[in-house]
Amino acid sequence: MKASERLAPAIILVAPQLAENIGATARAMLNCGLTDLRLVRPRPAWPHPRAVAAAAGADAVLDKARMFATAKEAIADLHYVYATTARPREGVKTVVTARAAAGEVRERLGRHERSGYMFGPERTGLENDEVALADALLTVPLNPDFSSLNLAQAVLVAAYEWRMSGDETPGRALAKGKAEAAAKVEVLDFFARLEAELDDCGFLRNTEMRPTMVRNIRSIFYRAGLMSHEVRTLHGILTGLTQRPHAAPTPAPRPAARAGKRERARRGREA
């Protein structure tokens, strides 16, 4: 196991009941870069083909999954453990959200301390004795009238928050494919042509306001972050609007139509 994997949080499933949920958990883990799966007394025979199918390619997690007889054994090498639960428990324990827990786990990594998230069976959740092994309770602030999560969903929430706590992906980015940003000379040439056309049609006739109007128009296009091919498209639009090279010619009226029009005009005069 790589050093980064050894320090990433472990996922401990205590007495999972369905092979499909184990496989879906493996998939959720690998989505978020986690690979240390620990199984405590799994109910289905292990390994199980339905778990492999549900893992959808996360075989690396299933192949390295380790088996334990008790939760105590499964967490023995960890320094801090979160017990996931949605039910009120006896005793006094710190309760943290998945997001807060992820931040704490990151801090412990700096001290080379391992953490783990412990999940109970799908139907009943963790037993009180298993919860007592944990240092804190982990909860997800969902709809208070309906907060039940599937096992794999709960794992995904915790794993995702862990992933995002160290992620530097920009919150917003432009997917431009192979397009190239327009050079300044391209944009300025377009501005010069656009402003010349606006002068010709009289849109910029107010000489006092013209500088402000020009700046406002340019700002619209600057905010767009134009690509080179988009500037060429804008030139084509200007050509279409000013020269109308593709406009259909106005059809000449047909002789019958002209005769009918004259007849209607005659009748109108007689009336």
| CB contact at 8 A, 181 and 227 | yes
37 and 67 Cβ atoms separated by less than 8 Å? no
Three-state SS annotation for 242-269? HCCCCCCCCCCCCHHHHHHHHHHHHHHH
Residues of the chain with pLDDT under 50: 1
52 close to 62: Cβ distance less than 8 angstroms: yes
Give the E-state strand segments of 41-142 in sequence order.
Answer: 66-68, 80-84, 94-97, 115-119, 136-139
pLDDT in the model for residue 124: 84
Q: What is the rounded CA–CA span in Å between residue 58 and residue 93?
A: 34
pLDDT of residue 237: 95
What are 148-204's pLDDT values in tens digits? Answer: 889 999 999 999 999 999 888 888 877 778 889 999 999 999 999 999 999 999 999
Tokens of residue 126, six digits: 């963790």
Token pair for 143: 């709809």
CATH of domain 3-165: 3.40.1280.10
Structural domain spans, the chain: 3-165, 184-242
Query: Directed axis angle between helix 228-242 and helix 184-201, to 10°?
Result: 20
Query: Residue 236: its pLDDT value, please?
Result: 95
- Residues 132-151 have pLDDT tens digits of 999 999 999 889 888 888 99
Please count the helices (runs of H) and the strands (runs of E) in the chain: 12, 7
- The pLDDT of residue 70: 96
SS3 labels along 57-70: CCHHHHHHCEEECC
Is it true that the peptide bond before 253 is cis, omega within 30 degrees of 0? no
Closest CA to 78 of 124, 143, 135, 120: 135
Residue 180: CB atoms within 10 A of its CB come to 9
Rounded Cα–Cα distance for residues 257 and 176 (Å): 53
* Amino acid 15: pLDDT: 95
Per-residue DSSP letter, 227: B
- The predicted structure's pLDDT at residue 215: 97
pLDDT for the residue numbered 173: 75
